[in-house]
Structure 1
Amino acid sequence: MSHRTPRLATRALILADDRLLLVNAYRGGVSDLWCAPGGGAVVGQSLHDNLKREIWEETGLTVAVGAPCLVNEFHDPKRGFHQVDLYFRCQIVAGQINDGWRDPEGVVTERRFFSRDALRGIRFKPDTLPSAAWGAGESLYDPLELIVR
């Protein structure tokens, strides 16, 4: 059996006016699933620099990267896919959400801030997202969960 290394990604938990920034999770709107902005780590780039680049690409925002707050793993056993997401608390230092912004990769087409109450009406991953975003600052670990579409 061949061994595949899990993919590593960084994600941002950005709160503004007590609302959490989320992006659509699948290219072309094939799913109504929302997630925190971010993406795959690039070899030779620090996790913080990787996250700043991903946030800029997906949202047009410039952020300051803070402390890590969540490690989440998800996988698709049928495809042999396994990803580890490292979530960091971030603060917006420049920019604003603009409906005209275009992700150069073409993956993210929607970005929106959600209140805690509004999260109850949408599908999002990981399950621990609200606890990580509005928690007391402790670091959380969300073990292996199935990827969903």
Structure 2
Amino acid sequence: MKPRIPRIGVRALILHENRLLIVNAWPGGRPVLWCAPGGGVHAGASLPENLAREVHEETGIAITVGAPALVNEFHDPDSGFHQIEIFFRAQLAGPIPAHWTDPEGIVTHRRFVTRDELARLPHKPDSLAPAAWGDAGALSYDPLERILR
């Protein structure tokens, strides 16, 4: 498969009461794979503006975007899909809504998890926990990962 131009994405590392907000990564929750909320960027808006929009669309949550914490890159050699993601630390800027709907229908589940719970769930990127909980060397580059199938 011929490689395509990489897509740029942004994701939020939102810790609340030492729990990380994660969402399902594929429409309908299949396959089961968890990630930080976020998505693709639109031209003409800053990365933080794109991230606040994406998180609100996917979760109904308003956030304040902080500093970058991780640059991650992944690809699917079968389809040629390639994405570069910038993860930012973020804080809740309002209440957590009881109900929400992703207008694109991709995110159908969201939850806050402890680090131990995250370790038992299939998630990407592999460096999500160290980045979220600020392990030594928190700002890092996670090299090209293959998408799970």
TM > 0.5: yes
Q: Which residue of 2 is the match for residue 117 of structure 1?
A: 116
1:117 counterpart letter in structure 2: D
Structure 1 residues 36-115: aligned runs within 5 Å: 36-98=36-98, 100-115=99-114
2:94 counterpart letter in structure 1: A
Partner secondary structure for residue 71 of structure 1: strand
Q: Is the CA contact 1:97–1:111 (under 8 Å) kept in the aligned structure 2?
A: no
Distance in 2 between residues matched to 1:92 and 1:84, nearest whole Å: 24
1:115 counterpart letter in structure 2: T
Matched, 1:132 2:105: no
Superposed CA deviations along residues 81-130 of structure 1, whole A, max 9, x for unmatched, are 100010000000112042x3111111001000000111122100000000
Give the strand-richer structure, 1 or 2.
Answer: 1
Distance in 1 between residues matched to 2:3 and 2:23, nearest whole Å: 31
Distance in 2 between residues matched to 1:9 and 1:27, nearest whole Å: 17
What percent identity do the matched residue pairs reach?
57
* Deviation of the 1:140 alpha carbon: 1.1
TM-score, length-scaled by structure 2: 0.94
Q: Which residue of 2 is the match for residue 4 of structure 1?
A: 4
Q: Which segments of structure 1 move beyond 4 Å, counting only runs of 4 or more?
A: none
Q: Is the CA contact 1:24–1:35 (under 8 Å) kept in the aligned structure 2?
A: yes
Distance in 1 between residues matched to 2:84 and 2:104, nearest whole Å: 21
TM-score, length-scaled by structure 1: 0.94
Q: Is the CA contact 1:42–1:50 (under 8 Å) kept in the aligned structure 2?
A: yes
Distance in 1 between residues matched to 2:124 and 2:3, nearest whole Å: 26
What CA RMSD, in Å, does the superposition of the two structures yield over aligned residues? 1.6
2:22 counterpart letter in structure 1: L
Which sits farther off after the overlay, 24-33 or 132-141? Answer: 132-141
Q: Is the CA contact 1:60–1:95 (under 8 Å) kept in the aligned structure 2?
A: no
Distance change >3 Å, CA 3–CA 106, structure 1 → 2: closer
